Amino acid sequence: MRIGSAGVQQEPPVTQSAEAVDKLRAALRHGVVKAAHSRDTAPGTMPGTIPCTPSRTRILVAGGGYVGMYTAIRLQQQLRRELQRGEAEIVVVSPTPYMTYQPFLPEAAAGSISPRHVVVPLRRVLHGCKIVVGEVRSVDHARRTAAFTTLASDEEGTGAIPIGYHELVLAPGSVSRTLPVPGLAEYAIGFKTVEEAIGLRNHVIEQMDIASSTREPALRDAALTFVVVGGGYAGVEALAELEDMARYATRYYHNLRPEDLRWVLVEASDRILPEVGAAMGTYTIRELRARNIDVRLGTRLDSCENRVAVLSDGSRLPTRTVVWTAGVRPAPVLAATDLPLNEHGRLRCTARLTVEGSEHAWSAGDAAAVPDVTADEPGTVCAPNAQHAVRQTKVLAENIVASLRGQPLKTYAHKYVGSVASLGLHKGVAHVYGRKLKGYPAWLMHRAYHLSRMPTFNRKARVLAEWILSGLFTREIVSLGSLEHPRAEFELAAGGVPSRPLARHHEDPPLSARERKRRQAPPPPAGPSAAPAPGDDGPGVLPDGTPGGTPGEDLRRKDPNGPGAGPATGDG
Ligand SMILES: Cc1cc2nc3c(=O)[nH]c(=O)nc-3n(C[C@H](O)[C@H](O)[C@H](O)COP(=O)(O)OP(=O)(O)OC[C@H]3O[C@@H](n4cnc5c(N)ncnc54)[C@H](O)[C@@H]3O)c2cc1C
């Protein structure tokens, strides 16, 4: 991609001419300090860089999540006049054109909220900013230059595009923290993105469809076994919401009962949900076990090769679903910068949200190790959660503006107030401001709190409308996994081989040529062995008594190895 398609205009390169100095002075009179020019290095002076103009302060925001979006919103409010006069510009680089409200992902997975409504379109809320859908690959802060790629630059093979900046907000958040567990990369799925949440919802329902239509008990058991690794709020909420949804859905299957489903929560430590405190964590374990969920504390996942989850307590669980939510680690791009990192790979920051030892570099959220000045123990840093991330953005934006105007910076101080978690419809747990709540009141508090935190009135209204509608009508239990492979039907009709899902983690190993041919062949006529025994009402028999699909048929038509894989393209 060249500059035009990234939405960033081509401008003349930075020069240190007398004219530029005059412009600088003019900008100073308008109250905007050209901070970068107070230093030796002019920003973006590397050849081929999208250059900075001396009269315009460029603030580059890397990341469009909580920190990136909220910081940019606040900056565009506080620098409104400078943006209008062309003295400042805010460029936001984000791999997706939307911000994801992650605390609503479990509800999206359960079908209580449409995927479109848990995301906020960046272009709509950041009208004063330039949005570049791309990924920052590296930062050379000494030269005030970052390099980013976009879909177009990847396609054109032009490589990363350097962009100069005056101020950098580095907010790429975190990614799932994985361990070298055999089979994890091939068979597991994370729970950090809306694509994963909706993919998982489709996958769970499709496993129920497979279980309902197979006549192989082993396949049925594996399809109905769901293993979630990690007892933090992402894991517990995802498991609780999905289990609730799946249990509800069994009423629409003639041959599935709630007790046929096996949900297993695997947690390495001796507690779950540390965010709500020990007492509420213990309550949550009791509540989950009462729902027949197998909670295993002090247990690790040792392997999930060949679709068998092997646990450290020696158990082997054949399963087609392993959800990995065992913590997060800072985004990999941080390692490709010349900025200081702590031992966990987070950016070393000050309590004023500047990067330690660096001028004009700022950070907050999951990517930043910000000292928690309210903690009793020195050296404590703020935990990676939304509560800190959102509050930090207020101080962050104010400090950037203050620094541009030569004013003193503020210190970020916030004492963690506790957490709320949903455990399925009408069930929850909360520990907020020292008050402990459980069951329905906690669930209500969870909804009220997150609705109030959901960005934009538009999104709040849509989420509320959905909740009201789903209260009036029954839950949606349809799987639209096929939306993830919209061309499959046409490819088959056109005589081709339907392409496999893009995401490797849900695929089986590549098919052999023979197997591919076998799957393309028309299905063999049902022989006597395929016919159900008279009165057989078990798996494999559809309600009208006709034999259900064989696993082979399923594979050809729906690819049950991979349902849920790949990006979601619509509501699930
Ligand atoms: C399922 C789930 C439930 C949660 N529930 C809660 C909760 O109830 N309460 C709570 O306090 N916290 C919760 N959290 C945690 C909270 O969502 C995070 O702490 C918060 O999102 C951190 O904000 P951030 O801006 O640092 O990162 P993010 O919001 O993750 O944003 C980072 C952004 O940077 C982008 N990015 C990554 N790499 C690059 C790159 N190289 N270049 C450009 N952009 C990049 C990412 O795509 C993303 O858009 C939950 C998290 C999950 C996954």
Binding pocket residue ranges, ligand 1, CB within 6 Å: 62-68, 93-96, 102-103, 105, 135-136, 171-173, 191-192, 233-234, 331, 333, 365-367, 384-387, 389, 419
Alpha-carbon distance 563 to 556, whole Å? Answer: 12
Candidate from 96, 228, 233 with most ligand 1 atoms within 8 A of CB, to mutate: 233
Quote the DSSP letter at residue 497: P
pLDDT 10s digit of each residue in the chain, 572 long?
A: 333 333 344 333 333 333 443 343 344 334 343 443 444 455 655 556 777 777 799 999 999 999 999 999 999 999 999 999 999 999 999 999 999 999 999 999 998 899 999 999 999 999 999 999 999 999 999 999 999 999 999 888 889 999 999 999 999 999 999 899 999 999 999 999 999 999 999 999 999 999 999 999 999 999 999 999 999 989 999 999 999 999 999 999 999 999 999 999 999 999 999 888 888 999 999 999 999 999 999 999 999 999 999 999 999 999 999 999 998 999 999 999 999 999 999 999 999 999 999 999 999 999 999 999 999 888 899 999 999 999 999 999 999 999 999 999 999 999 888 889 999 989 999 988 888 999 999 999 999 999 999 999 999 999 999 999 887 777 777 766 666 777 777 777 887 776 654 333 343 433 444 444 444 555 444 443 333 333 333 333 333 333 333 333 332 333 333 333 333 333 33
* Atom 44 in ligand 1: residue holding the nearest Cα: 63
3-176+330-404 has which CATH code?
3.50.50.60
From the number of C-beta atoms within 10 Å of its C-beta (0-12, 13-18, 19+), residue 517 rates as: exposed
Give 456 Cα–ligand 1 centroid separation in angstroms.
Answer: 18
Predicted local confidence at residue 285, as pLDDT: 96
**For ligand 1, atom 51: residue with the closest CA:** 102
Centre of ligand 1 from the C-alpha of residue 65, in Å: 6
List the residue whose alpha carbon is closest to atom 53 of ligand 1. Answer: 192
**526 Cα–ligand 1 center, Å:** 51
Q: How far is the CA of 66 from the centre of ligand 1 (A)?
A: 6
Q: What atom in ligand 1 is closest to the CA of residue 137?
A: 41
Q: Could you tell me the distance, in angstroms and rounded to a whole number, from the CA of residue 54 to the centre of ligand 1?
A: 34
Q: How many helices (H) and strands (E) does the chain have?
A: 17, 24
- Cα-to-centroid distance, 64 and ligand 1 (Å): 9
Looking from the CA of residue 93, the nearest atom of ligand 1 is 43
pTM value > 0.75 = yes
Rounded to 5°, angle at Cα 67 from 62 and 72? 70
Q: At what angle do helices 513-520 and 551-558 cross, to 10 degrees?
A: 90
Whose alpha carbon is nearest atom 4 of ligand 1? 103
CA of 94 to the centre of ligand 1 (A): 12
Rg, C-alpha atoms of the chain: 26
Cα–Cα distance list, 451 to 70, 444, 456 (Å): 16, 10, 10
pLDDT computed for residue 519 by the predictor: 47
SS3 assignment, position 27:
helix
Atom of ligand 1 nearest to the CA of 331: 38
Instruction: Label the pairing between strands 119-121 and 98-100.
Output: antiparallel
Q: What is the dotted CATH code of the domain comprising 184-326+418-472? A: 3.50.50.100
**Alpha carbon distance 142, 164 (integer Å):** 11
Helix axes 233-249, 277-290, angle to 10 degrees: 20
Distance 299 CA to ligand 1 centre (A): 27
> What pLDDT is stored for residue 529 in this prediction?
39
Bridging pattern class, strands 188-189 and 321-324? parallel
**Domain extent listing, the chain:** 3-176+330-404, 184-326+418-472
Residue 248: C-alpha distances to residues 252, 376, 532, 548 (Å): 8, 46, 28, 22
Residue nearest to atom 38 of ligand 1 (CA): 172
* Nearest CA among 157, 97, 168 for reference residue 130: 97
The string of DSSP letters for 75-107 reads: HHHHTHHHHHTTSEEEEEEESSSEEE-GGGHHH
Query: What pLDDT is recorded for position 236?
Result: 96
Which of ligand 1's atoms lies nearest the C-alpha of 368?
Answer: 26
Nearest CA to ligand 1 atom 10: 386
Q: Pocket of ligand 1, candidates 102, 113, 153, 451: which has the most ligand atoms within 8 Å of its Cβ, to mutate?
A: 102
Give the amino acid at 191: F
Q: Whose CA is nearest to atom 31 of ligand 1?
A: 65
The answer to whether 109 touches 200, Cβ cutoff 8 Å, is yes
Record the tokens describing residue 513, joined without a space. 């040529």
Atom number, ligand 1, closest to the C-alpha of residue 388 = 11
Q: Which atom of ligand 1 is nearest to the CA of 197?
A: 1
The ligand 1 atom at the shortest distance from the C-alpha of residue 325 is 53
Give the distance (Å) from ligand 1 centre to CA of residue 557: 36
One fold for both 3-176+330-404 and 184-326+418-472? yes
